[in-house]
Chain A
Amino acid sequence: MTTEPNQEAPNAAGAEVLLRALKDQGVEVVFGYPGGAVLPIYDAIFNQNAIRHILVRHEQAAVHAAEGYARSTGKVGVVLVTSGPGATNAVTGLLDALMDSIPLVCLTGQVPTHLIGNDAFQEADTTGITRPATKHNYLVKRSEDLARVVHEAFYIARTGRPGPVVIDLPKDILIGKAPYAGPVSTHRSYRPRTEPDPAQIDRAIALLKGAKRPVIYVGGGVVNAGPEASEALTRFVRMTGFPCTNTLMGLGTFPASDPQFLGMLGMHGTYEANLAMHGADVLLAIGARFDDRVTGRLNAFCPDAKKIHIDIDPSSINKTVPVDVSIIGDAGRAIAALIAAWDADAAVPDRAGLASWWRQIDVWREKQSLRFTQDTAPGALIKPQYAIRRLWQLTRAQSKDTFITTEVGQHQMWAAQHFGFEKPNRWMTSGGLGTMGYGLPAAMGVQIAHPDALVIDIAGEASILMNIQEMGTLAQYRLPVKVFILNNQYMGMIRQWQELLHGSRYSESYSNALPDFVKLADSFHATGLRAENYGQLDDVIHRMIASDRAVIADIAVDPMENCFPMIPSGAAHNDMILGPEHEDQARGITDEGLVLV
């Protein structure tokens, strides 16, 4: 990539210059929806074949689809929407991408510059509205800035801590002639730090060497650092013999099948992961941000641990949890530096200390905190956990690469707990923002990027209805996405909190007047399947996987099942509710805990 912006004389319309810049950025796919303000761009798209446009049915879905595309490939996802409602509909997706650090460039149409501020038709203050929902945003007011802004936007979106960048494009800028300039790989004020400080690496190694009860806690930053970062992580965990736990966003960075994996940590994490965090003497956090869903009550979080934090974003360090050693940089490079320093030092872990730590962890593992009981009579109710387990087992038994997206709620947590991920970029879920309606459009984006893969949206019957219109997009592009609905006829996580914290007053959480999902699939030219009981589950999963079409598999599951284990709000890691027999613990929650989300 060149750093010299070799500006040419203006000889093409802004929309043409925009497409040329996208091509030079290696863009192959744009997810979008047309409108008056972006018609010049759609005209330019019509006149070329290099960039494919995927027409969604709602702008929010365009952003989630671009997120799925980005998260499963490591590339920047691109969105194109019109002014006004096009831009405001995209806001939820933009904030979702910001919270989960997903690289996106979102092109929004805008009324012509001379009308800005006049409350023109479909005008919105898009840069104002999206400022707190993006990593950065631009309003292009001069044609000569257009190409530079597009290249800067891509550079900002994909480097440092990745995130969404909006470019607001007034219609006169798209129509008027504009000069072209090539891609850039520097910026006058934005300079992310990627190389870790060797002195801090040495301090980390000194702590890790002496650790008797270490835990490595890994988040989505390692996914963003590329697959080689996950490979390096796996090597480092194995060479140290330390236990490793993943956040919701980090699943897949360390193989779930590895004996050193403790499972996910946090509110619905495993007993062993949370108790190990609580008992640790040295904590190594990599690409994770001490989210409230992970830490539980802050003043009881990892009370005895010296903490080492690796993050590319300096504002993540000491934000909620003070740490002893901070390493600012790319997670992959920092892990590589740790490996090199550990080797150079000929470091040996405290084997006796570690052996006794693993014995303690094995005692916690014996609690089998993810256990559930599935009645195996053919007519028995399906336990949602069992449905996920079978989905995992049966997808493993086939040869296609499998990608999972989710909506938000109980089904999301059960998927995180019971579906084992061996590699990064295979798990797409809305972690930070918790956006219901994320999974189906995200799966669309994944399937566009990986046409031959098996892409499954694990959904709830409530969440799926938030972006159900995208079934039309699946039909138009013949995308064989599978929607696997755990249908418990409730907004399950809401119902669970109402049961545990609000005296079982199920206010507005019943999914009334649900559609017939089989007929709904049929009307969108997809295949509809339904499993009513244990005896029908395997057959439905087999048929779903074998189908070369889009499928909705409607799985009727136990409506009253709760998601355990659980750290109730305001509680500490060592105050977990393991199962229904301990639900009274949640009822004893303090007022302070009750105000927490």
Chain B
Amino acid sequence: MPGPDNNHHRSATISVLVDNESGVLARVIGLFSGRGYNIDSLTVAPVDDTRGRSRINVVTSGTEMVIEQIKAQLDRLVPVHRVADLSREGPHIAREMALVKVLGTGEKRVEALRIAETFRARVVDTTIESFVFELTGATDKLDAFIDLMHPLGLAEVSRTGVAALARGSRTI
């Protein structure tokens, strides 16, 4: 069969520029749930007040054919200006932020703090039995930090999802 390999799954970071109007996020989310596509993470915020535009970053996964279909379906939505597959259109930076609450005392508490320093996580809240760490970085770095905190009293995690841009002078 012609065309891309139909069995290999890959992850894709897709940025979508949309008109900042009511219902636009519901259109995007409804598209993913209605057609059975994965959402690994999703962020949305206004990025251009003068032109009234928001940027949605979706991390998804699927076969090459499915990802191409996701992009085409997104591009078909009326309020969508631009769809960019950052993971295909050259190198890109993707970052997310996590707030991680760890409970504990004694040696575990010291170990948590030591690891946090290694990861350059900031302590943004502390009591004598808890820390809240703020950590920014690539998704796998956040995953690794959270894994390490598990045995050290990990209590709660809040993550933002991915913000992403192309490297260099390229813009979407």
Binding site for B on A (CB under 8 A): 127-128, 131-132, 135-137, 139, 141, 156, 187-190, 306-307, 313-315, 317-319, 322-324
Contacts and interface: CB of A to CB of B under 8 A. Distances in A.
A314 B76 contact: yes
B78 to A, nearest CB: 4
A582 B69 CA distance: 39
A189 B81 contact: yes
Interface in B58-92: 65, 68-69, 72-73, 75-76, 78-81
Contact of B23 (A127, A190, A307): A127
A190 B78 contact: yes
Most chain B CB neighbours (cut-off 10 Å) among A131, A139, A141, A323: A131
Contacts of B1: 322
A314 B72 contact: yes
Contact of B78 (A187, A314, A324): A187
A132 B72 contact: no
Given A131-B27, A132-B30, A322-B2, A156 B78 contact: yes
Contact of A132 (B4, B19, B34, B80): B34
A303 to B, nearest CB: 9
14 contacts: A131-B30, A141-B22, A156-B78, A190-B78, A314-B72, A315-B69, A315-B72, A315-B73, A319-B69, A322-B3, A322-B4, A323-B2, A323-B3, A324-B2
B144 interface: no
Interface of B: 1-4, 6, 18-19, 22-23, 26-27, 30, 34, 65, 68-69, 72-73, 75-76, 78-81
B58 to A, nearest CB: 16
A309 to B, nearest CB: 11
B79 to A, nearest CB: 6
Closest 9 CB pairs of A and B: A322-B3, A315-B72, A136-B78, A189-B81, A190-B78, A314-B72, A315-B73, A324-B2, A132-B34
Given A314-B75, A317-B72, A322-B2, A189 B65 contact: no
Contact of B79 (A141, A189, A319): A189
B20 to A, nearest CB: 11
Contacts of B72: 314-315, 317, 319
B78 A189 contact: yes
A137 B79 CA distance: 11
Contacts of A132: 30, 34
B19 to A, nearest CB: 6
A574 to B, nearest CB: 17
A131 B26 contact: yes
Contacts of B75: 314-315
Nearest to A188: B19
B112 to A, nearest CB: 44
Nearest to A316: B72
A190 B65 CA distance: 24
A590 to B, nearest CB: 21
Contacts of A313: 76
B81 to A, nearest CB: 5
A450 to B, nearest CB: 32
Contact of A322 (B19, B65, B79): B65
A322 B63 CA distance: 13
Contacts of A319: 69, 72
Nearest to B77: A136
Contacts of A307: 2
B19 A315 contact: no
A317 B26 CA distance: 25
A301 to B, nearest CB: 10
A59 B22 CA distance: 27
B65 A318 contact: yes
A315 B3 CA distance: 15
Contacts of B65: 318, 322
Nearest to B68: A318
A136 B26 CA distance: 12
A318 B2 CA distance: 10
A314 B76 CA distance: 8
B75 to A, nearest CB: 7
A402 to B, nearest CB: 36
A227 B52 CA distance: 40
Contacts of A315: 69, 72-73, 75-76
Contacts of B4: 322
B69 A318 contact: yes
Nearest to A315: B72
Contacts of A317: 72
Nearest to B79: A189
A187 B65 CA distance: 29
B2 A135 contact: no
Given A131-B23, A317-B72, 13 more contacts: A128-B26, A131-B30, A132-B34, A139-B22, A156-B78, A189-B79, A190-B78, A307-B2, A313-B76, A315-B72, A319-B72, A322-B1, A324-B2
Contacts of B81: 188-189
